[in-house]
Amino acid sequence: MNKILSVMMAAAMTVSMTACGGDTASDNTSASVDNSAATTESAAAGSTDGQKYTIGILQQLEHPALDAASQGFEDALTELLGADNVTFDLQNAQGEQANCATIANNFVASNYDLILANATTALQCSAAATSTIPILGTSATDYATALEIDDWTGSTGRNISGTSDLAPLDEQEAMIKELFPDVKTVGILYCSAEPNSKYQATQIEAALDADGIAYKEYTASDSNDITSVVQTAVSEVDVIYIPTDNTMANNTETINNIALPAGIPIIAGEEGICSGCGVATLSISYYDIGYTAGQMAYDILVNGADITTMEIKTAPQVTKEYNADICSQLGITPPDDYVAIETE
């Protein structure tokens, strides 16, 4: 995936990872990056009237999925507002919660027009920093979990909306059964500091329970724990499942260096993780959900849309993908409806 480019580069191009209690994410409105008739009419009717906007982008850390979401957001707004009418201040928190909080507070102090919070911790810190500046999340899996909303209705009722990166978890569990019909025990690997990962783990466990497949959780509090945790997991399970977890996404090489020699296949919650250490994934386009968040931002800034009632949107489609190299090394032949992940 493309790295985040500057605002000037974003004006010249268009390019292509974790929180909804129960089944809330699956009930949300599907996102679309198509310039539908409604979106086109909205853009045509709306005008900046010479107004220029400054938008803060708080990205939790740098990895391909989040990079693509930020790029999609910038591309959409640049197209809709015009490159001369929008300035982006993209800040990367390097995976540190303290950095997320500092960046969010700086955006608020600067009185930016809108904040894009890319990933769950970024969303939580932005929500804590302001109750007035519009906040759009992306690459967050379950908003109800992230924002501790018990009576979820599809929108937050606050100055927050956005897009979710949740691919249907029941279909992800079905992939495990499809590829490994004789599986006895599944290891579920995630970072305990990421609430959306816990949400996904709980949903996968329910599906595994329904199919009579045993499972065990393996959690790391941060990247320093990953080596020892994965070493334990590969000695105890047949297959590992990793949800859309930012910590794991940033450490796929470490995971692969342990799991691949041990012969333990990994089903991943998103393409970036699968590219680094997985055999297969049910993938969404992070660029698409970022782009949709950009369309939502335009609707808020120019058309005066009420963010408190805007429903969280999900990716319009999912794709079964596989890592050809790792599958080959493990002797796995995916079914014909799986698409090989493109490699650079």
pLDDT per residue, tens digit, the chain (344 aa), is 333 333 333 333 333 333 333 333 333 444 444 444 344 344 443 456 789 999 999 999 998 889 999 999 999 999 999 999 999 999 999 989 999 999 999 999 999 999 999 999 999 999 999 999 999 999 998 999 999 999 999 999 999 999 999 889 999 999 999 999 999 999 999 999 998 899 999 999 999 999 999 999 999 999 999 999 999 999 999 999 999 999 999 999 999 999 999 999 999 999 999 999 999 999 899 999 999 999 999 999 999 999 999 999 998 889 999 999 999 999 999 999 999 998 76
Altogether, the residues listed in the chain come to a count of 344
Region of 329 on the Ramachandran plot (φ > 0 left; ψ -120 to 50 alpha; else beta): alpha
Q: Which helix (H) or strand (E) holds 269?
A: none
What is d(CA 315, CA 181) in angstroms, rounded to the nearest whole number? 28
Q: How many C-alpha atoms does 3 have within 13 Å on its Cβ side?
A: 4
Give yes or no: residues 254 and 294 share one domain.
Answer: no
Interior angle at CA 153, CA 124 and CA 23, nearest 5: 85
Give yes or no: residues 35 and 101 share one domain.
Answer: yes
Residue with tokens 């995971």: 255
Provide the sign of the torsion angle of the four alpha carbons 29, 33, 38, 42, taken in this order. Answer: positive
Give yes or no: residues 174 and 75 share one domain.
Answer: no
Q: Is position 234 within any domain?
A: yes
CA 339 to chain centre: 20
Provide the sign of the torsion angle of the four alpha carbons 287, 340, 19, 221, taken in this order. Answer: negative
Give yes or no: residues 174 and 130 share one domain.
Answer: no
Structural domains in the chain (count): 2
**The domain spanning residue 87 has which CATH number?**
3.40.50.2300
Q: Which of 184, 188, 186, 117 is nearest to 156 (CA)?
A: 117
Residue 211 tokens read as: 């199919």
Could you say which DSSP state residue 54 is in? E
Residue 282 tokens read as: 């049910």
Give yes or no: residues 143 and 219 share one domain.
Answer: no
Model's pTM, two decimal places? 0.76
Give yes or no: residues 131 and 203 share one domain.
Answer: no
N-terminal to C-terminal alpha carbon distance within the chain? 9
Give yes or no: residues 104 and 19 share one domain.
Answer: yes
Q: Regarding beta strands 160-164 and 185-191, do their DSSP bridges make them parallel or antiparallel, or are they unpaired?
A: unpaired
CB atoms within 10 A of CB 265: 24
Give yes or no: residues 124 and 250 share one domain.
Answer: no
Give yes or no: residues 16 and 125 share one domain.
Answer: yes
Give yes or no: residues 128 and 17 share one domain.
Answer: yes
Q: Is position 1 within any domain?
A: no
Residue 314: strand, helix, or coil: strand
Contact 14, 79 (CB under 8 A): yes
Strand order of the β-sheet with 280-283 is: 214-220, 185-191, 239-242, 266-268, 280-283, 319-322, 339-340
Q: Is position 2 within any domain?
A: no
CB-neighbour burial class of residue 54 (10 A; exposed 0-12, middle 13-18, buried 19+): middle
pLDDT on residue 48: 64
pLDDT on residue 316: 80
State the residue range of the domain holding 175: 169-283+319-340
What is d(CA 249, CA 338) in angstroms, rounded to the nearest whole number? 21
Q: How many helices and strands, by DSSP H and E, does the chain display?
A: 15, 14
In the beta sheet, which residues pair with residue 219? 190
Q: Which of 115, 64, 109, 72 is nearest to 91 (CA)?
A: 115
What is d(CA 156, CA 294) in angstroms, rounded to the nearest whole number? 18
pLDDT on residue 327: 98
Q: Is position 131 within any domain?
A: yes
